[in-house]
Amino acid sequence: MAIMKTLTVDLADRSYPIFIGESLISNPDLFTPYINGKQVMIVTNTTVAPLYLEQVKSSLQHFSVDEVILPDGEEYKNLDTLNLIFDALLSKRHNRTTTLIALGGGVIGDMTGFAASCYQRGVDFIQVPTTLLSQVDSSVGGKTAVNHPLGKNMIGAFYQPKAVIADISVLKTLPQRELSAGIAEVVKYGLICNQDFYQWLDANMEALVAFDTQALSKAVELSCLDKAAVVAQDEKEGGIRAILNLGHTFGHAIETNQGYGVWLHGEAVAAGMVMAADMSWRLGNITLQEVQHLQQLLKRAQLPCVPPSEMNNQDFIDLMQVDKKVLDGQLRLVLLTAIGQALVTSDFSAETLHQTLAAGEKLGCLTQSDTSITQ
């Protein structure tokens, strides 16, 4: 039951802890201080509820607890499903002192956070992330959203949780493909701001893929440290926070083009990071060997490292225009200036972008058949 690590997201009066350790979800002491009223609404889904809902409820015995169990999948991350949370809150007469608990991966976390930001103009919520991706990224930093058919995460709010409880033990039930998707966001931190972490990942990738608890704990801790540091500097993405979106402009285009849920978010980010690295190489910032090394690292994590072969330049260009980083019609991308350093820039020619998009399966000279995506 011991907490291995407590980190802080430092945001003045909205600061909050991130607890990282084993068997945390059945520890009432981690929940109770962050719940102000009597009422609690646990938001989870049909996959996570049978696995972990009872353990979380056992930690909340002093509260009046309701639950809403949503359908599982990125394709349900929309306004219709969000409304199911409001239906549950209103029909169970939850008032302004209620606390929502997001028990699930990034889809549940993003939707619960958004519901908390809107319900009665804002109520408290706690993140209990249960995927690697949500433990290293989506539960920290207060980005909440639902998708729109025309663009991913286009409707949402910045709204910080009261606490994040990242229980490494729950990762043991994660499907291998979901674990790999989370590793993509872990690799992102190494690439954008932490070369030592990138080297650590190179040395420990097989342990991570094998669900090694020590390796996973370390990866969650180092990722959350990097993310908390960036968010503390720029909560609402006026500047530096955008580097957390390395690969995401390409990746969101892939997710939207393929249909939400076909490529997992982390898989699309993996291919997108290679595209960003390829462009960075074309601009003279990193070497081709570094692009290829990244591809090999992602391949060892069982991730795709080229975009879907059926997507052409125009598909990407059309979808990338909907990106939240587009300012006054101008596309901005997160690119690498070195391994471990990134910037947000519009300082690239259309030709360079087109060369990367056209490279497709020949990015870094690996091919689709070398990667894990089969659909």
Interaction site with ligand NAD (CB under 6 A): 45, 47-48, 51, 72, 74, 77, 104-108, 110, 130-131, 133-134, 137-138, 141, 143, 153, 170, 173-174, 178, 181, 265-266
DSSP per residue over 155-170, as a string?
A: EEEE---SEEEEEGGG
Output b/e per residue, 26-49; b: 16+ Cβ within 10 A.
Answer: bbeebbeebbeeebbbbbbbebbb
CB of 95 to ligand NAD, least distance (A): 26
Q: Which amino acid is at 64?
A: S
CB-nearer residue toward ligand GLY: 141 or 360: 141
Q: Is 57 in the site for ligand GLY (CB under 6 A)?
A: no
Which three-class secondary structure state does DSSP give residue 307? coil
Question: 126: buried, middle or exposed (CB in 10 Å: 19+, 13-18, 0-12)?
Answer: buried
143 given a catalytic annotation: yes
Q: Is 94 in the site for ligand GLY (CB under 6 A)?
A: no
Q: Is 265 in the site for ligand GLY (CB under 6 A)?
A: no
Separation CA 201–CA 195 (nearest Å): 10
Q: Is 190 in the site for ligand GLY (CB under 6 A)?
A: no
> From the list ligand GLY, ligand NAD, none, which binds 72 (C-beta under 5 to 8 Å, kind-based)?
ligand NAD
CB of 173 to ligand NAD, least distance (A): 4
Which one, of 12, 19, 130, 111, lies nearest residue 70 by Cα? 111
| Among 57, 77, 248, 324, the one annotated catalytic | 248
252 given a catalytic annotation: yes
Q: At what angle do helices 176-193 and 195-209 cross, to 10 degrees?
A: 170
Q: Is 161 in the site for ligand GLY (CB under 6 A)?
A: no
Q: Is 141 in the site for ligand GLY (CB under 6 A)?
A: yes
Q: Is 168 in the site for ligand GLY (CB under 6 A)?
A: no
| Among 57, 77, 162, 227, the one annotated catalytic | 227
Number of residues that bind ligand GLY (CB under 6 A): 6
Residues 342-371 interacting with ligand GLY (rule: CB under 6 A): none
Q: Is 137 in the site for ligand GLY (CB under 6 A)?
A: yes
Separation CA 241–CA 11 (nearest Å): 14
CB-nearer residue toward ligand GLY: 55 or 160: 160
Could you tell me if 186 and 225 are in contact, meaning their C-beta atoms sit under 8 angstroms apart? no
| Among 241, 282, 324, 332, the one annotated catalytic | 241
121 given a catalytic annotation: yes
Could you tell me if 188 and 139 are in contact, meaning their C-beta atoms sit under 8 angstroms apart? no
Separation CA 130–CA 30 (nearest Å): 16
Q: What angle do CA 142, 100, 165 make, to 5 degrees?
A: 60
96 given a catalytic annotation: no
Residues 231-250 interacting with ligand GLY (rule: CB under 6 A): 241, 244-245
State the pairing for strand pair 124-129/143-148.
unpaired
> From the list ligand GLY, ligand NAD, none, which binds 245 (C-beta under 5 to 8 Å, kind-based)?
ligand GLY
Residues that bind ligand GLY (CB under 6 A): 137, 141, 143, 241, 244-245
**Residues acting as catalytic residues:** 121, 143, 185, 227, 237, 241, 245, 248, 252, 265
